[in-house]
Structure 1
Amino acid sequence: MRPHTDVHRVKLNKPDRVHDAPEMPNVQASSRSTGTESLRSERYTARCIDRDRSHRLTFTIRSTLPAMLHTLLAGIRTLVLVPLFFLLTLVFAAVIVIVGAFRPGASIHDKILKVWSGLFLKIPPVRVEVSGIEKTDPTRRYVVVSNHLSMYDIPLLLHELPLHGRYLAKKEVFKIPLVAQAMRTVGIIEVNRQKGGSSRQAINEGVRVAAERGHSLLVYPEGTRSTEGELLPFHKGAFRIAIDTNLPILPVVIEGTERVSKPGSKIFYPGYASMRILDPIETTGMTNKEDLVPLITRVEAEMNEVFNAMRQTTDG
């Protein structure tokens, strides 16, 4: 017979499967969360990049659109008005030739040149500020020396100077029919720059004849247009003429016409130009041997100083 034994059933404290079990990391859930956040971050970054590109593109368009529109309107204006102005030039030339046949040296020629040059300035159009007019004497004749920035310097001097000016023009310009006749009629002096061409005596005689008719000589001593934003070295020709003919030098400084007729461009842009007349310099008693170089140096220094001051004012 088995001995009687008290058996106590002991309940083992097993860990609760839900609450007491140690938590294990949910690798799958974590990876999903990380992947989602990474995807959101990439999408957000992409949106930021697209937004930034869009802003930059919008800014570029907004900043370049006015310039493009400005060029387009200037081009249309040039395309329409220049041919009309050329036809008008032919009409003026015909009037000058006809009047000149009956009344050589008539004052109406000066009026026509003033009107012609004024219309030329209205093509872009050009707003002009002039200072120093009080330094000129309408009863005197001058050799006007001016810096040369663009083709618009020609009508600017003709229209704004309180003088009756005439240019030296190279012989190639005189090959245009009717225009050449008109130029000779009003007293434009033809110059042959080739070797063995126009002599110094012939040019001086042309200047004297022009002065007797009440005309001042307009010259660009640089010899060509300056495209570097500064004055080029002066040639001696204009100063020799002034000394030979005892005409005073009248320095004139122009700024701004290079923005109206830009180098290499066939479009005329609306703009602002300024012209400053400096004190005249007497040449009576001067000689080419002793006074020519000092005269050129003086005029060149004065005009450079004024031009640089005008350029700084414009840039500022």
Structure 2
Amino acid sequence: MELLLLHYPFTFLLIAVLILCWMYPTFRYFCMITVYQVWIFAISFLVIIIALPRGRRCENMKILRMAILSAKYVLGIKIVVKGKENLRTKKPCILVLNHQNSLDIMVMMQILPDRCVPVAKKEVLYMGTFGLACWLSGIIFIDPTGDASISMSSPLLQFHVLIFPEGTRNHSGSMLPFKRGAFQLAVRAQIPIVPVVISSYNSFYSQNEKRFTSGTSTIQILPAVETVGLSPDDVPKLTEQVRDSMMSAYQRISGMTNGGSHE
């Protein structure tokens, strides 16, 4: 036994980890989180090597998208997309998504269209290899504590723009009030808003319960909301209208009833 352990230490270590993951859900949770984070930062290094000679450009997002999305196979997560026809447009639009936790980074890559520029908080830029990979992929960084407005430059409006209107992660099993920046941008540019809803991860992931198993995440792409003819005065009503439709879809695809939460 000692001879086998000496010659195959990594095999025995792997077996020990698998046994502990099977016996202790909390241990599995931390292992899965560690694997996800290490995967993201390691794969980002490869993205940098490929993208650096090309410089900062939106086209690099295709590389980052494929690299990060591969994590779903490692974690055993299946992603089901509904309403794909609502995103089949070459015209610029604003995609708004609900924001739950870091898994959103991987899940949103499943529906990220070509020539799409996500918007992220400035802190992401300083997250090592991942931050640099995001910068090379053309992601827009804003300071949520300062002026978080997005420039209306003409080059930007040739792309789709992806924004999390809640402004921060939300673990409550609901949705935080939406900030109006995305909707102001859409109205000023007179381009449609496409609401995208990611279902609750609670069936396989819970930070509070320290639970992380394999499972299925559902993405519902809702019909585009036109903004042609709307003025800045219509932004508050538009914001609430979109949030209400996303909240209803979130509860439906998450299997919630009577507005209840999984948490």
TM-score normalised by L of structure 2: 0.77
Aligned partners of 2:118 and 2:58: how far apart in 1?
18
- Superimposed CA distance per residue, residues 252-293 of structure 1 (whole angstroms, 9 cap, x where no aligned partner): 11113355553368875322111101110111221112x112
- Superimposed CA distance per residue, residues 40-80 of structure 1 (whole angstroms, 9 cap, x where no aligned partner): xxxxxxxxxxxxxxxxxxxxxxxxx9984444445445445
Contact 1:94 1:182 in 2 (8 A): no
Aligned 1:217-296 pairs, distance under 5 A: 217-258=161-202, 260-263=204-207, 268-289=212-233, 291-296=234-239
2:246 is equivalent to residue 303 of structure 1: yes
Q: Relative to structure 1, is the Cα distance of residues 95 and 258 closer, same or farther in structure 2, using a 3 angstrom cutoff? A: farther
Classify the secondary structure of the residue corresponding to 1:284: coil
Classify the secondary structure of the residue corresponding to 1:232: coil
- Superimposed CA distance per residue, residues 14-62 of structure 1 (whole angstroms, 9 cap, x where no aligned partner): xxxxxxxxxxxxxxxxxxxxxxxxxxxxxxxxxxxxxxxxxxxxxxxxx
Aligned-residue offset at 1:158: 2.0
Structure 2 unmatched runs, 5+: 1-19
Classify the secondary structure of the residue corresponding to 1:205: coil
Structure 1 counterpart of 2:76, one-letter code: P
Cα RMSD (Å): 3.0
Structure 1 counterpart of 2:38, one-letter code: P
Aligned partners of 1:119 and 1:295: how far apart in 2?
36
Q: Relative to structure 1, is the Cα distance of residues 265 and 137 closer, same or farther in structure 2, using a 3 angstrom cutoff? A: same
Contact 1:234 1:300 in 2 (8 A): yes
Structure 1 counterpart of 2:54, one-letter code: V
2:71 is equivalent to residue 120 of structure 1: yes
Paired position in structure 2 for 1:93: 48
Structure 1 unmatched runs, 5+: 1-64
Aligned-residue offset at 1:179: 4.3
* 79-88 vs 270-279, which moves further: 79-88
Q: Which structure shows the higher helix fraction? A: 1
Aligned partners of 1:311 and 1:163: how far apart in 2?
27
Aligned-residue offset at 1:181: 4.1
Paired position in structure 1 for 2:14: none
Structure 2 counterpart of 1:105, one-letter code: R
Contact 1:204 1:244 in 2 (8 A): no
Structure 1 counterpart of 2:227, one-letter code: T
Contact 2:69 2:110 in 1 (8 A): yes
Counterpart pick for 1:204 among 151, 156, 169: 151
Paired position in structure 2 for 1:21: none
Structure 2 counterpart of 1:296, one-letter code: T
TM-score normalised by L of structure 1: 0.66
Q: Relative to structure 1, is the Cα distance of residues 193 and 256 closer, same or farther in structure 2, using a 3 angstrom cutoff? A: closer
Aligned-residue offset at 1:237: 1.2
Equivalenced residues, count: 239
Aligned-residue offset at 1:84: 4.4
Q: Which one has the largest radius of gyration?
A: 1
Task: Calculate percent identity across the aligned residue pairs.
Answer: 26
2:99 is equivalent to residue 144 of structure 1: no
Aligned partners of 1:218 and 1:312: how far apart in 2?
26
Paired position in structure 2 for 1:49: none
Classify the secondary structure of the residue corresponding to 2:255: helix
Counterpart pick for 2:135 among 184, 207, 213: 184
Aligned-residue offset at 1:191: 0.6
Aligned partners of 1:73 and 1:191: how far apart in 2?
35
Structure 2 counterpart of 1:226, one-letter code: N
